[in-house]
Amino acid sequence: MNVFPKLFSPFKLGSLSIKNRTVMSPMETHLCDTEGFVTEELIAYYKERAVGGVGYITLENTAVDPVGRVNDGMLCIHDDKYMPGLKKLTDCIHAAGGKIVMQLSHAGKEALPYFTGLKPVAPSAIPSPLTKEMPRELTVEEIRDIINKFIQGAVRAISAGFDGIEIHMAHGYLVNQFLSPESNTRTDDYGGSTARRSRFAQEIVEGIRKCAPGDYPVICRISADEYTDTGLKLEESREIAKILEKAGTSALHVSACNYASAFFNIPCYYLEEGCFVHLAAGIKSVVKIPVLAVGRILNPAMAESILQENKADLIVLGRTLIADPHFPNKVKDGRLDDIRTCISCNRCIESISDKRLVCTVNPSIGKENIHRTVKTTQPKKILVVGGGPAGLSAAQVLSDRGHKVTLWEKGSRLGGSFCYASLAPKKESLGKFLDYLILQVKKTDAVIQLNTEATAESIKQFSPDVVVLAHGARSVPVEISGAQNNGVIDVKQAFVNSDSLGNNIAIVGGGPEGCELADFLVSRGKKITLLEMRRVLGLGLVAHPRYHVCERLKKMGAQLHVNTKVVEVGYNYIIINRRREADQKLDGFDTIIIPTLHQPNSALAASIQPFVPEVYTVGDAAEGRTALEAVAEGVEIGMKV
């Protein structure tokens, strides 16, 4: 019995028949080449999602004009030379049983001139909130030319075999800039009232509708609330929605934010799941056309309830499908425990700023053609030392490939540093991902032995062909006068023994571990003093969660000190130094916590090299790693051996 009947019911969007109610969100991958052409890697990436069962794919934002290309990782459709690659993409998706919609986009003032070589344009000469670049105000003649470029892009997309068109009118890009009173201060027919600010969008829709066959889908993606003081709010967006509906829009994809509110635009784990669904419901209440809901929808039960409660007609999945392209099929088949959970860490967003898309939990992004589990013809006896993310990933892949795998974990549970990292507030999804890793290993033939410490002698007695060392970093105390005495503890001890720390706590080191521990403790009513010698807290976190954890700490009253060096630690006090100021004593602390340094853990590898044919060191044992790197290295070793 399908427990998600609405989610897996068919749907008709104009001429587009969809097998279920899931839609892949348009998300930049930078898997195209620097000229904006489709590549084999990009085709393989989207094919995997089509095979995974999504109702239809929305291709990432694609430039209708060179001046509107946000960066050199943006696809293009402004010239016929792009057609062969785009046609190859649609043919591949259709052959895989999928459907694909083209998103047409122009970045306006958010286009980066050092990529385009051209000055950015906008409805009004108002600087970008991100780049601070001053755009050139468009003339009426130029506005009409850009409208025509959207229409030409749509004609090309139809010719290339796309099943629909989505116009990007959200997130601070050009059409959104026209719609918003924050970025449009024109006094002609394209500015002023809601109707006049909507004219640019309206004329794009009307122009495409005239060129599109029959009831070919023309979808508009809007930011129903820009989450800024002077930007669009839901009430005005309802009026815009009705204007777009009258112009011939087939459906409305309801998102939120612009570049000034970017910390909310791609909601990380500090924002609740389904955080923009209320906006979709608000738009749906005033239009008769279908509405698409988006915004950190990770749970199929939530997706089903959104549909059952008539808040939306289709569910848009973004990072959920980056993390697990087979999410729809797994949900349909009832294999919920096999879903590779998105942890909303936003490493994917950070990665496309200067390179190709990567994902913390899915190391196969951009490698879909080569990351295939191929059975080995020469099974080996393999010992994996360490049950953290790197070790678990390696053990699963190696066992799936047919090797005889044994995993030793010196502790009483699997998970490594994930065990306490997932205790921090709002990081429940990290715990779910750890559960996924453990379950996948347990489903293989790998033998797991807990409370088993690896030594050179025990490994020699085991006599493996291959050893994968994933036993974690060597923890080294920070060298601060007095830190080796006076009851100082580290972050892991603090997470595990939080109830015995007392009330007044100092945390020396405001990196990711320090910030998340501070959040954990202040949420439990502790008085926290957090000290960081650099000028910014949380360096090492992606910008989105870094912003939110710092805001949380401020709101909960934590004492935050940056540009502050701790020079001495006593029994219940610390001595701090700020440049150009005399040393200062802070006292009265019940507990002082200092994160340890993570250094390569190479001693065991050196000791077993003489008698183990193959030795590999991965994760923190090789060097301080992020979770992304640890998982990826485990999988790479699993593929290699």
Active-site residue numbers? 173
Integer CA distances (angstroms), 97 to 17, 90, 535, in order: 12, 11, 52
For residue 577, what are its two tokens?
A: 């130094």
For residue 136, what are its two tokens?
A: 């050139």
Place of tokens 């024109």: 186
Work out the angle at residue 315's Cα, subtended by the Cα atoms of residues 311 and 320, and round it to the nearest 5 degrees. 135
SS3 of 399, please? Answer: helix
SS3 of 419, please? Answer: helix
First to last CA, the chain: 41
Place of tokens 């069962």: 53
Residues 618-636 as b/e (b if ≥16 CB within 10 A, e otherwise) read bbbbbbebbbbbbbbbbbb
398 alpha-carbon distance from chain centroid: 27
Residue 49, H or E segment:
helix 40-51
Residues 303-314 as b/e (b if ≥16 CB within 10 A, e otherwise) read bbbbbeeebbbb
CA pair distance 532, 551, nearest whole angstrom: 16
Q: Which of 499, 519, 523 is nearest to 507 (CA)?
A: 519
Integer CA distances (angstroms), 458 to 409, 475, 604, in order: 13, 23, 11
Q: Which residues share a beta bridge with 103?
A: 166
Residue 102, H or E segment:
strand 100-105
DSSP assignment, residue 529? E
For residue 303, what are its two tokens?
A: 């997706």
For residue 329, what are its two tokens?
A: 């099929």
Cβ–Cβ under 8 Å, residues 403 and 380:
yes
CA pair distance 18, 220, nearest whole angstrom: 18
Q: What is the 3-state secondary structure (H, E, C) of 347-369?
A: HHHHHCCCCCCCCCCCCCCCCCC
Q: Which of 5, 13, 11, 60 is nearest to 36 (CA)?
A: 60
For residue 484, what are its two tokens?
A: 């080796």
Alpha helices in 134-186, H assignment, sequence order: 140-159, 174-179
